[in-house]
Amino acid sequence: EMEEDGTIWMNGEYVDWEDATVHVLSHAMHYGTGIFEGVRAYDTEEGTAIFRWEEHLDRFYNSAKPYDMEIDFSREELTEATLEVIRRNDLDSAYVRPLAYYGYDSLGVSPGDCPTDVSVAAWPWGAYLGQEALENGIKVEVSSWRKHASSQIPTNAKTTGLYVNSMLAGEEARRHGAEEAIVLNKEGNVAEGPGENIFLVRDDELYTPGLSESILDGITRDTVITLAEERGYEVHDNVSISRGELHTADELFFSGSAAEVTPIRQVDNIEIGNGGRGPVTEELQTAFFDLVNRRTDDHEEWFTYV
């Protein structure tokens, strides 16, 4: 349920929640031509801090490139806007949603003279798949819908239109009693979740699909790889994972800004490993939450304090 109040930044102005509206004939409303970020700010022991803001901002500008979107705001302007939105909404922790999209001018597939409108909103968002999911893991199902191929659309750009595929896959899984989907790519190998990257643990080594598997270049994926390697784990981060390897894995988990580190306990009604949160998953999940809550002083460069 969204909070119906607060302040949103739109194209350089701070507007009230109910005034943050767009024209129904905006290009992105018809053609999915938006790009966005999903970022968390944590209520750390050192105060509220946005996690890996610089990397999210890098990806935000990069996601606009394939669509010739001109984001007319600098890094400094978007950073100040984001910090200010968090402050004005009195948020100790927050989920932050920057968005850029082709707005209102003319309709037709070509954006023509449609402006690139930019907004930043923030709101409280707890555990993406529920607190219980973080502790006990979730049931997932491999979707009958395949992920877009990176040859069809730049899957490394966080494009709003891509999430129709994510919705189809996730809703199919939930209709079948699972909590989330795993999506295979065109080749039939494991890509990721609808809104998460995926990791497999086998014999105490970690595996995660490479960027050529039509996945989003996840920032939490990168964080988990770093944390795992710092703890001496071998991480294979450019592999193809077949569907069968999911069922025989010792452990599986999702990573994402919203999902954080969510264990997977069942795939296609087949129990994974110990049937709950695996030991390596728990170790990395604990390391992740210690890091983002600043219970360690590692990676201070990953924190932008509000």
What's the rounded Cα separation, in Å, for the pair 88 and 118? 18
With residue 51 as reference, give the H or E element that holds it: strand 47-51
Is 184 near ligand PPE (CB under 6 A)? no
In the annotation, is 158 catalytic?
yes
> Is residue 114 classed exposed, middle or buried when 0-12, 13-18 and 19+ CB atoms within 10 A define those classes?
buried
Q: Is 251 in the site for ligand PPE (CB under 6 A)?
A: no
Which pairing describes strands 180-184 and 138-142: parallel, antiparallel, or unpaired? parallel
State which amino acid sits at residue 105: D
- Smallest distance from the beta carbon of 75 to ligand PPE, in angstroms? 18
- Measured from the CB of residue 110, what is the shortest distance to ligand PPE in angstroms? 27
Sequential DSSP letters for 183-201? EE-TTSSEEE-SS-EEEEE
Distance CA 30, CA 103 (A): 10
Q: Tell me: does residue 219 bind ligand PPE (CB under 6 A).
A: yes
The residue range among 62-70, 250-258, 271-279, 287-295 that interacts with ligand PPE, by the rule CB under 6 A, is 250-258
Q: Tell me: does residue 38 bind ligand PPE (CB under 6 A).
A: yes
Q: Of the ranges 27-35, 98-106, 115-123, 214-222, which one interacts with ligand PPE (CB under 6 A)?
A: 214-222
Q: Which of 227, 173, 239 is closest to 202 using CA atoms?
A: 239
Catalytic residue from among 65, 147, 158, 186? 158
- Cβ(32)–Cβ(289) below 8 Å: no
Query: Residue number with the shortest CB distance to ligand PPE?
Result: 38
Q: Of 159, 214, 257, 281, which lies in the binding site for ligand PPE, with binding defined by CB under 6 A?
A: 257
Q: By C-beta, is 52 or 265 nearer to ligand PPE?
A: 52
Is residue 258 involved in binding ligand PPE (CB under 6 A)? yes
98 binds ligand PPE (CB under 6 A): no
Q: Which residues on neighbouring strands pair with residue 255, listed in sequence order?
A: 197, 261
Residues acting as catalytic residues: 158
Query: What is the contact surface with ligand PPE in residues (CB under 6 A)?
Result: 38, 192, 195-197, 216, 218-221, 255-259
